Amino acid sequence: MIDVRDVSRVYRRGVDQVHALEHVTLHIPAGRFVALMGPSGSGKSTLLNLLAGLDRPDTGEVVVAGQALAGLDEDGLAAWRARHVGLVFQFYNLLPVLTAVENVELPLLLTGLGRSERRRRAEIALAAVGLAERADHRPQQLSGGEQQRVAIARAIVTDPDLLVADEPTGDLDARSAVEILTLLRELNRAFEKTVVMVTHDPRAERFVDQVMRLDKGVLVDGGSA
């Protein structure tokens, strides 16, 4: 499903160069639930961005679901993300002017689906995360855990091959964090979605198939899942 081959990424911060990733190679088969862990600044989010097609490596190659991402231009990457990747952020990042179901429906604007079909699928996705009754609530009317569920529904509504989550429990209380981890696990198992999650949360280890650890931009554990 995911092949990362000898990938390096360097950021320039003023006159300094930050080696966010150095010669990382890993393989994640389809249907796996993988946690990327490591201290702050270890390169977890950078690696996640590369897997999601949000960023490009300076060297090396990223292949996801048979697609070499280097061969796509910016618009091509955007279209690829819309079809193949579902994204979940730490701070949910729902549009405050839209209701829960409208937020979930948003990625479907990029498909050729009709209006009623878009709404139907959004309602199904919202029901899948247990928030069917909160469909018409605005984000500010929902708890943090509920907002993250809506964000997960938004991530899965296009039925992507890959679900990437950047610290999905980082802004949640303990109970909500467990609920979100459980939900991700269920989605991984029920729909055989490949899930890659960046997390600091040690509880996550109980829910995932494998933990990959990074330190100072180097993969130190679990390069092959």
Partner 1 sequence: MTYPRLILRNLWRHPLRTVLTTLSIALSIFLVCAVLTLPGALEAVFAHWSSDVRITVHHKAGLTYWLPYAFLAKMRNLPHVAAVNHYSWFGGVYDEPKNMFPNFAVDPETVAQMWPDYGIDPAALERFRKIRNAALVGEQTMAKFGWRIGQEITLKGTVFPVDLTLRIVGVIPAASGNPVVLWFNYRYLSEAMEPRFGTALAGPTGVVGMIWLRADSPAHVGEIMRTVDALFRNSEAEVAAETEKSFIQSFTSTFEGLIRVVLAVGFLVVLAVVLIAANTSAMGVRERLPEIAVLKSLGFRRRPILAVLLAESTLQGLVGGVLGSAAAWVILGALNRAGRTAGGAFLGPLGSFHMSAGVAAEGVAVALVVGVVAGAVPAWNGARLNVVDALRRLF
Per-residue CA distances from 53 to 3, 157, 191, 208, 211 (Å): 13, 18, 22, 22, 21
Shortest Cβ distance from residue 81 to partner 1 (Å)?
4
Binding site for partner 1 (CB under 8 A): 45, 49, 52, 54-55, 74-75, 78-83, 85, 87, 89-91, 93, 95-98, 102, 105-110, 115, 118-119, 122, 154
Among 136, 132, 161, 164, smallest CA distance to 149 is for 132
Nearer to partner 1, 107 or 145 (CB): 107
Nearer to partner 1, 29 or 71 (CB): 71
Shortest Cβ distance from residue 114 to partner 1 (Å)?
11
Among 194, 198, 117, smallest CA distance to 157 is for 117
Partners of 162 in the β-ladder = 85, 194
Shortest Cβ distance from residue 155 to partner 1 (Å)?
9
Nearer to partner 1, 85 or 180 (CB): 85
Shortest Cβ distance from residue 108 to partner 1 (Å)?
8
Dihedral sign (CA 206, 5, 72, 42): positive
Shortest Cβ distance from residue 224 to partner 1 (Å)?
26
Nearer to partner 1, 13 or 175 (CB): 13
Nearer to partner 1, 5 or 119 (CB): 119
Quote the strand ranges of 45-193, DSSP E.
59-64, 67-68, 85-88, 162-166
What pairing do the DSSP bridges indicate for beta strands 162-166 and 67-68?
Answer: unpaired
Per-residue DSSP letter, 205? G
